[in-house]
């Protein structure tokens, strides 16, 4: 039986230069190390689960994973920068009957005006989670924070929204 760590190190040494070259050609320099880290982490998890002999051509496998990681990263970034903050409130309110539509728009406008008082990072986290339906882990990667930090920001902003919007509804 092949030792997984030894196998990983051998494959890493044999493929790192090729994968780094691909990253530097296709991605921004500052993203290259993150892409490689994610690629090798997925490879390591795969060989831990299925064994070192489960992949016929590790270089081809790693290149495929790297291409997918690169596409995912830039697809996510494009989705985020595609729509400004204001269009998310319009998008969130564009469903239902005319009565629901007017209530939805009013609620979305209230929420967005309350959110605009928050720090920019909290606004982005809120928008990515509720406006674009991104997962916490993806938001953490995109914003450069931890998943726990994203959860904490969402919890705080929801609590603040409940209290501020709850007070307005009681008036």
Q: What is the DSSP string of 133-169?
A: ---HHHHHHHHTS-HHHHHHHHHHHHHHHHHHHHHHH
Q: Which of 4-13, 82-91, 152-161 has the lowest mean pLDDT?
A: 82-91
Per-residue pLDDT, 169: 56
pLDDT classification of 81: cutoffs 50, 70, 90: low
Average pLDDT rounded to a whole number, residues 71-83:
73
Average pLDDT rounded to a whole number, residues 2-6:
88
Per-residue pLDDT, 101: 53
Topology of 84-170 in CATH? Arc Repressor Mutant, subunit A (1.10.10)
Greatest mean pLDDT range, 28-37, 55-64, 78-87? 55-64
Is the pLDDT assigned to residue 149 strictly greater than 70? yes
pLDDT classification of 80: cutoffs 50, 70, 90: low
What burial letters (b/e) apply to 59-90, b meaning 16+ CB within 10 Å? eebbbebbeebbeebeebeeebeeeeeeebbe
In the chain, where are the structural domains located?
A: 4-81, 84-170
pTM of the predicted protein model = 0.49
Q: Element (H or E) spanning 107, and its range? A: helix 98-115
Average pLDDT rounded to a whole number, residues 20-41:
89
């Amino acid at each position: 039986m092949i030792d997984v760590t030894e196998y990983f190190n051998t494959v890493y040494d044999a493929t790192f230069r090729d994968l780094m070259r691909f990253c530097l050609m296709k991605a921004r320099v500052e993203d290259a190390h993150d892409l490689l880290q994610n690629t090798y982490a997925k490879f390591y998890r795969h060989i831990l689960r299925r064994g070192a002999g489960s992949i016929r051509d590790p270089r081809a496998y790693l290149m495929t994973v790297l291409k997918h990681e690169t596409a995912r990263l830039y697809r996510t970034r494009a989705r985020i920068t595609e729509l400004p903050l204001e269009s998310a409130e319009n998008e969130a309110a564009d469903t239902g009957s005319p009565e629901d539509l007017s209530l939805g728009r009013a609620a979305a406008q209230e929420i967005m005006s309350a959110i605009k008082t928050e720090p920019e990072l909290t606004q982005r986290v809120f928008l990515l989670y509720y406006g674009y339906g991104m997962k916490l882990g993806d938001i953490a990667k995109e914003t450069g924070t931890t998943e726990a930090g994203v959860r904490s920001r969402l919890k705080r902003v929801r609590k603040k929204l409940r209290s501020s919007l709850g007070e307005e509804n009681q008036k």
